[in-house]
Structure 1
Amino acid sequence: MTELSTPADRINIIIPLFNDWEAVSLLLDKIVATVEPAIRQRFHFLIVDDCSVTNYQQLPMNTGQSLSILRLWRNVGHQKAIALGLSYLADQPEAYTTIVMDSDGEDKPEDIARLLDASLNTPGQIIFAHRTKRQESRLFKTFYQIYKTVFKLLTGKAITFGNFSAIPPTLLRKLAHVSDIWNNYPGGVIRSRLPYRSIPLERGLRLAGQSKMNFVSLILHGLSAIAVLMEATAVRIFLFCIITASISSAAIAIVVLLRFTGQWTISGWASYIVFSLFIVILQAFLISLLLVFIVLTYRTQSHFIPAKQYKDFIERVEVVY
């Protein structure tokens, strides 16, 4: 692995958080224990507090060069908190390599060096952590696999990574101007066409508290990722509707032909099948029409640009050390 102990610019670490103060405290302790001092002394932490209803009692000191808390006026959700953190850093005089990681410890601190190493070897690319092994329940893993399959079918893209990533300084400001990261950070990167790749890393265990990712939140997270690639999804559904309508029309023609040539013995079935297929064609037409209006509306509306509007969500910046 490439040595990272030589002097270099600072490394910003964004940690979105909602009430997970105990976990983030343990995470910072683990960073001290597992990350080499030569790398850790370059860290500048930015905790994006997503309007938590609790506050920290005490946070570990001297885990890096600095630690600040970006306090938000209201709860906006995990993905939007990441977008606001990225926009805040992009608005600073200088841009630096930025790590995005979760606060619960499932993004293992010892893997930060691997992300940085991959970023050094392939400069100019966003490096994501591709999860080779997950620690959740079997039911969660099953639904997560279903989500990835549906995502692939609807968008034509494979999504095997989450938020844990390294962003090179050359792409930080560009990424902050991508409106789609407001809904889903990984999906926004995919749609932005900014260069990215992933490396295989194993997911860790939550350090404290209970995970807020359940079945409902997984569905909402999946829908937000699919919505980011709405145009590609709409095209694929539109093509599916055309194929379905074409097959149904051909089937109606065959039924009518068999009925009037005397080869269909039970006339009631012929009428029932023709009527059912006609309903399928009508539904395919209505879905296609709805998709056209949705895509046209999406293309004409103005989009939220995090880099331009992030200040409206920030209450204050609290410097811990």
Structure 2
Amino acid sequence: MQKPQKFFIVTPVLDDWESLDKLIEDISAQPELAPHDIRILAVDDGSSAYERPNPERLVGPIKEIVVAHLRANQSHQRAIALGMAYVKEHYSEFSVLVMDSDGEDRPEEVAQLVERAADKPNSIIVARRRKRSEGTQFRAGYWVYKLLFSLLTGKDISFGNFSFIPQSKIDNVIYNSNIWNNFAATILRSRVPIEFVETDRGTRYFGESRMNVTSLMVHGLSAIAVFSDIVISRLIIALTGMFVLFSFGILAVIAAKFAVDYYNIPGLFLPGYATNIILALVNILVSSLFIGLLMILNLLTTRSQATALPSQLMVELIGKVETITLSEKAN
């Protein structure tokens, strides 16, 4: 029998408190989770309306519900980062399970991540969906995102936020400044071993998904930004290859022009044709050099600037914090 675990479920919430209530109810009903000590941290990402969680949901393994109200909307990814930092600061002995509260991360599969975490205590456990069930347009965009990510970074990303971070590995994630950009990509960048659990996409409890092609584009760019140094390095290598290729192209045109003039071959080059080709290639060559130089300078400038971490900004960005406990339920 596996040892019971203590972990917080960190979930961002933006207005959808009805879904949070349903999520808590469904988690408490999972028999496989009964031995564990589970707390809920709902990160209120600047909701326009607030519904306080019902203390009656504190049944089974769920011992406490904490609601951290952010002073303003910070975005889904930053809400996760601040939630993890809060757990680290105030509940340092707890692990963290990150999931969305809308039902698409299925409560029935939480136990699978927890069980794998018990078997692999030094790894981060992530949920990898067996297949996408969104519309054709979204799935096409997601495929393009994964392809670009692989080409630009040399890595594959096949998971989202649904994950279990053991207590011993939380520092590896929250003290990585990239977490402000993209949570999943930061896990990939953290150098912590990753274990995959195959899952299915759940059905939303209420309403429709806010994720569309535009938000997917923003999400994809933020994930690629986590590997900006690698992306720039790979682009510089590509530009170097282009530099060499066009250098040979210029030499080839010069050699061809020389051969035409030497052997007096008529009609092969129009007047000024070779000169125009050489000028165009030189223009591309010089532009490539300048772009490469600017990329290097931008990379060096970025790396020299320290970025504030979630733990440093937590006090400023988190306003009121509510804690709902079993004692309140009894009253």
TM-score (norm: length of structure 2): 0.89
Return the alpha-carbon distance in structure 1 between the equivalents of residues 131 and 273 of structure 2.
52
Secondary structure of the equivalent of 2:72? coil
- C-alpha distance in 1 between matches for 2:170 and 2:194: 13
Q: Which shows bigger deviation, 123-132 or 76-85?
A: 123-132
2:329 paired residue number: none
Q: Report the Cα offset of residue 185 of structure 1.
A: 1.0
Q: Tell me, what secondary structure is at the counterpart of 1:257?
A: helix
- 2:214 corresponds to which residue? 216
1:55 aligned onto 2:38:
no
Q: Distance in 2 between matches of 1:147 and 1:276?
A: 33
Q: What residue number does 2:318 align with?
A: 314
Partner amino acid for 2:37?
R
Asked whether the equivalents of residues 24 and 104 of structure 1 are also in contact (C-alpha less than 8 Å), the reply is: yes
Indicate how the Cα distance of structure 1 residues 272 and 24 shifts in structure 2: closer, same or farther if over 3 A, else same: farther
Q: Secondary structure at the match of 2:90?
A: coil
Q: State the 1:89 CA deviation.
A: 0.4
Q: Distance in 2 between matches of 1:252 and 1:39?
A: 72
> Could you tell me which amino acid in structure 2 is paired with residue 151 of structure 1?
F
Aligned to 2:238: 240
Q: Matches of 2:130 and 2:5 in 1, distance apart?
A: 30
Q: Secondary structure at the match of 1:71?
A: strand
1:40 and 1:136 mapped to 2: Cα distance?
Answer: 35
Shift of 1:96: 1.5
CA drift of 1:250 comes to: 0.9
> How many angstroms apart in 2 are the aligned matches of 1:159 and 1:9?
28
Q: Which runs of 5+ in 2 are unaligned?
A: 326-331
Q: 1:179 and 2:177 equivalent?
A: yes
Partner of 2:328: none
More off after superposition, 108-117 vs 36-45 = 36-45
Q: Secondary structure at the match of 1:47?
A: strand
Which residue of structure 1 lines up, in the alignment, with residue 25 of structure 2? 29
Deviation at 1:266, TM superposition (A): 2.7
Structure-1 residue corresponding to 2:69 = 71
Give, in whole Å, the separation in 2 of the partners of 1:139 and 1:286. 37
Shift of 1:38: 4.4
Q: Does 1:18 align with 2:14?
A: yes
Aligned equivalents of 2:170, 2:282: Cα separation in 1: 52
Q: Distance in 2 between matches of 1:165 and 1:189?
A: 10
| CA–CA distance in structure 2, aligned partners of residues 86 and 124 of structure 1 | 18
Deviation at 1:309, TM superposition (A): 2.4
Measured after TM superposition, the shift of residue 40 of structure 1 is 7.1
Q: Is 1:137–2:132 an aligned residue pair?
A: no
2:33–2:111 contact (8 Å) kept in structure 1: no
Is the Cα contact below 8 Å between 2:123 and 2:195 reproduced in 1?
yes
Whether the 8 Å CA contact 1:178–1:306 is kept in 2: the answer is no
Counterpart for residue 192 of structure 1 = 190
Unaligned ranges ≥5, structure 1: none
d(CA) in 2 for partners of 1:50 and 1:170?
Answer: 27
Report the alpha carbon displacement of residue 39 of structure 1 after superposing the two structures with TM.
3.1
Q: Alignment partner of 2:162: what SS?
A: strand
CA deviations 1:249-289 (Å, max 9, x no partner) are 11121112112211633344433332332232122112101
Return closer, same or farther for 1:40/1:219 CA change in 2, 3 Å cut-off: farther
How much does 1:31 deviate? Answer: 2.2
Shift of 1:229: 0.9
Equivalent of residue 254 in structure 1, options 252, 255, 279: 252
After superposition, the Cα gap between the structure-2 partners of 1:9 and 1:31, relative to the gap in structure 1 and judged at 3 Å, is closer
Report how far residue 176 of structure 1 moved: 2.1
Aligned match of 1:99 in 92, 97, 101? 97
Instruction: Output the TM-score relative to the length of structure 1.
Output: 0.92
Residues 61 and 312 from structure 1, CA distance in 2 versus in 1: closer, same or farther, beyond 3 angstroms?
A: same
Name the CA distance, whole Å, in 2 between partners of 1:272 and 1:39: 76
Distance change (3 Å), C-alpha of 1:320 and 1:269: farther
Number of matched residues?
Answer: 316
- Shift, 1:67, TM fit: 1.0
Task: Give how far 1:241 is off.
Answer: 0.6
Query: Structure 2 vs 1, CA of residues 290 and 99 (structure 1 numbering), >3 Å: closer, same or farther?
Result: same
Q: 1:269 to 1:111 in 2, by over 3 A?
A: farther
Q: Equivalent residue for 2:150?
A: 152
Query: Greater CA radius of gyration, 1 or 2?
Result: 2
For residue 271 of structure 1, what is the aligned residue in structure 2?
A: 275
Instruction: Tell me by how many angstroms 1:72 deviates.
Output: 0.5
Percent identity between the two aligned chains:
34
Whether 2:293 is the aligned partner of 1:298: answer no
Q: Secondary structure at the match of 2:160?
A: strand
